[in-house]
């Protein structure tokens, strides 16, 4: 099995990516197809260019807001949960299928 790395790429204040990443992390743990998971949040990494680049507030999208609780955590529905499972299944299948390509070359 492999480790699943989840990257939150949005760094804007008011973003929802962190909540979605934590939900995917819990879905992956329940799925059981990975050795472990790790969330890398670029807003928490000390990126040098972030000190010089203005970061604008995230736009609140009404459609997305219906899936968030008051703490901005994702409230998934059955479609989201089913899609997450299908995606995680495919990641495991792809990882296993590509394992021979990552093996060290015989000398």
**Could you report the per-residue pLDDT of 60-86, keeping only the tens digit for each?**
777 778 888 888 788 999 999 999 999
Q: How many other C-beta atoms can be found within 10 angstroms of the C-beta atom of residue 73? A: 15
Global pTM exceeds 0.75: no
Q: Give residue 34's pLDDT band: very low, low, confident or very high (50, 70, 90).
A: very high
Mean pLDDT, residues 17-43 taken together:
92
Mean pLDDT, residues 49-67 taken together:
72
Mean pLDDT, residues 9-34 taken together:
89
Burial class (CB in 10 A: 0-12, 13-18, 19+), 95: middle
Choose between 91 and 54: higher pLDDT. Answer: 91
pLDDT at 60: 73
């Amino acid at each position: 099995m492999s480790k699943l790395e989840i990257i939150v790429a949005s760094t804007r204040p008011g973003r929802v990516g962190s909540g979605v990443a934590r939900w995917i992390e819990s879905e992956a743990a329940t799925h059981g197809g990975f050795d472990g998971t790790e969330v890398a949040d670029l807003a928490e990494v000390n990126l040098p260019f972030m000190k010089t680049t203005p970061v604008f507030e995230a736009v609140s999208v009404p459609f997305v807001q219906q899936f968030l609780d008051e703490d901005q955590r994702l409230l998934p529905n059955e479609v989201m949960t089913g899609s997450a499972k299908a995606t995680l299944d495919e990641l495991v299948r792809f990882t296993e299928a590509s394992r021979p390509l990552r093996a060290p070359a015989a000398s």
